[in-house]
């Protein structure tokens, strides 16, 4: 086993093939596009990826737990609808810009509560998280349509939509929020007892129970974290648009899972980290941005991303095979 202090970049890249890919697409687009290697474009990429990125952080926890959350896109839409709608409620009419505060708080609370509900059902019924959150995805999306009456809500307070244009120094606020959350979740996962238990529960649930870890409540906390992050992502997305549409966040669960899996997190649980997930998020962000700059039609992005997803996982299997070799199919 290597010493933690001797850092070997080749070894590191073999364990995190997605960062090799990030490097390649970064260099590629810098060479072929005139507009890509530009500070303002980098800001753009960070802001564009923050939506999926925030949810991917939570998804990493949930997936290391051996679960999955398909309801994030729907939670995002419901939270966004609340954030935009509540600020124009009559009771906050005299609050001025402060009307945004209860709206955002309520939206985030909705995310946490829905996450808690997902987690609670998984805990108490023992039904697979895939099924529970598939149901939640359909149900919550339905609630969004009921709530919005199939209409878009528009933010009447311009301070709300101006928020997304704010910068602190060189960095847009949205990028800062994303980066701070990334750091926070990275710390939770790699350095806290909760993070350690996340790996243990996903790696061997029975051993975790036998070690006295309260597995049910533990999983619920991670569902609450992803619910919160999905809602936060919804709020930030609606500030960018100045509106909340009922179809907001459609297919986001697929993008998020793609990013997390690209980052090396195993669907079966027990393995993964935020460094990988961040790489996965950036890979998708750079690819979409770069191809957009080169005016490649958006559908090709799907084709290429799909191919890359399989290629990266193949490389991961090649490089990180155990001495056992795995099964030849």
Partner 1 sequence: MTDTPQQPALRLQGIVKTFPGVRALDGVDFEVMPGEVHALLGENGAGKSTLMKVLAGMYQPDEGQIMIAERPVRMTTPIEAKAQGVVLIHQELSLVPEMSAAENIYLGELPLKSLGRVDWTTLFDRSNAILKRLNCKFRGEVTVANLSIANQQMVEIARALTVDARVVVFDEPTASLTDSEKVVLFDIINDLKARGVGIVYISHRMDEIFTLSDRITVLRDGAYRGTLTTADTNEDEVTRLMIGRSLDLSRDVNPPKLGDTVLEVRGLSCAPLFENVSFAVRAGEVLGFYGLVGAGRTEIAETLFGLRSPDSGEILVDGAPVQISSPQSAISLGISLVPENRKEQGLVLQMSCRDNITLPQVQDLTSGPFVSSGAEMEIYEQYREKLEIKSPSWRQTVGVLSGGNQQKIVIGKWLSMKPRVLIVDEPTRGIDVGSKSEIHNLLRELAAQGYAVIVISSEMPEVLRVSDRIVAMYHGRIMREFSADDVTEDSLVQAISGIRAENAA
List contacts with partner 1 (CB under 8 A). 1, 4, 187, 191-197, 199-200, 203-204, 206-214, 270-271, 322-323, 325, 328
Residue 201 CB, nearest approach to partner 1 (Å): 9
For residues 295-324, b (16+ Cβ closer than 10 Å) or e, as one string? Answer: eeeeeebeeebeebbeebbeebeeeeeeee
CB of 6 to partner 1, least distance (A): 13
Distance separating alpha carbons of residues 162 and 291, to the nearest angstrom? 28
Q: State the nearest-atom distance from the C-beta of 126 to partner 1, in Å.
A: 15
* Least distance from partner 1 to the Cβ atom of residue 320, Å: 11
Nearer to partner 1, 40 or 328 (CB): 328
Residue placing its CB nearer to partner 1 in the complex, 176 or 209: 209
The CA distances from residue 139 to 78, 84, 134, 288, in Å, are 11, 21, 9, 30
Q: How far is the CB of 64 from partner 1 (least distance, A)?
A: 10
- Compare residues 169 and 326 and give the one whose CB is closer to partner 1: 326
Q: Which is nearer to partner 1, 310 or 323 (CB)?
A: 323
* Residue among 187 and 314 whose Cβ is closer to partner 1: 187
Element (H or E) spanning 172, and its range?
A: strand 171-172
CA pair distance 198, 47, nearest whole angstrom: 29
Identity of the residue, 141 or 218, whose beta carbon is nearer to partner 1 in the bound complex: 218
**In angstroms, what is the minimal distance from the CB of 191 to partner 1?**
4
Q: Which ranges constitute the DSSP H helices of the chain?
A: 9-15, 17-32, 39-64, 72-86, 100-125, 129-148, 158-163, 173-191, 193-203, 205-210, 215-241, 252-262, 274-293, 298-319
Classify residue 268 by burial, with Cβ atoms within 10 Å: 0-12, 13-18, 19+.
exposed
* Structure tokens that stand for 5 in this block: 């202090």
């Amino acid at each position: 086993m290597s010493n933690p202090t001797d850092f070997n970049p080749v070894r590191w890249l073999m364990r995190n093939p997605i960062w090799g890919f990030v490097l390649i697409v970064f260099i590629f687009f810098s060479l072929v596009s005139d507009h890509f290697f530009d500070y303002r474009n980098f800001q753009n990429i960070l802001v564009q990826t923050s939506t999926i990125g925030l949810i991917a952080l939570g998804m990493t926890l949930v997936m290391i737990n051996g679960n999955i959350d398909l309801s994030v896109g729907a939670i995002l839409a419901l939270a966004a609808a609340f954030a935009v709608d509540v600020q124009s409620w009559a009771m906050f009419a005299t609050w001025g810009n402060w009307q945004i505060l209860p709206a955002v708080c309520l939206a985030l609370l909705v995310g946490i509560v829905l996450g808690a509900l997902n987690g609670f059902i998984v805990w108490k019924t023992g039904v697979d998280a895939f099924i529970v959150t598939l149901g939640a995805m359909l149900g919550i999306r339905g609630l969004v349509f009921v709530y919005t009456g199939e209409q878009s809500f528009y933010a009447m307070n311009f301070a709300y939509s101006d928020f997304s244009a704010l910068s602190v120094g060189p960095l847009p606020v949205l990028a800062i929020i994303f980066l701070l959350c990334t750091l926070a979740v990275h710390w939770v996962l790699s350095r806290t007892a909760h993070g350690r238990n996340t790996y243990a529960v996903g790696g061997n649930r029975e051993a975790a129970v036998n070690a006295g870890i309260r597995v049910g409540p533990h999983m619920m906390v991670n569902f609450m974290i992803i619910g919160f992050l999905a809602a936060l992502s919804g709020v930030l997305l609606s500030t960018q648009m100045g509106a909340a549409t009922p179809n907001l966040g459609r297919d986001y669960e697929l993008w998020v899972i793609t990013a997390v899996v690209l980052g090396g997190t195993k669907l079966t649980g027990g393995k993964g980290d935020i460094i990988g997930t961040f790489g996965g998020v950036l890979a998708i962000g750079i690819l979409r941005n770069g191809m957009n700059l080169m005016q490649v039609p958006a559908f090709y992005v799907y084709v290429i991303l799909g191919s890359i997803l399989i290629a990266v996982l193949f490389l991961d299997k090649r490089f990180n095979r155990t001495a056992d070799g795995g099964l030849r199919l």
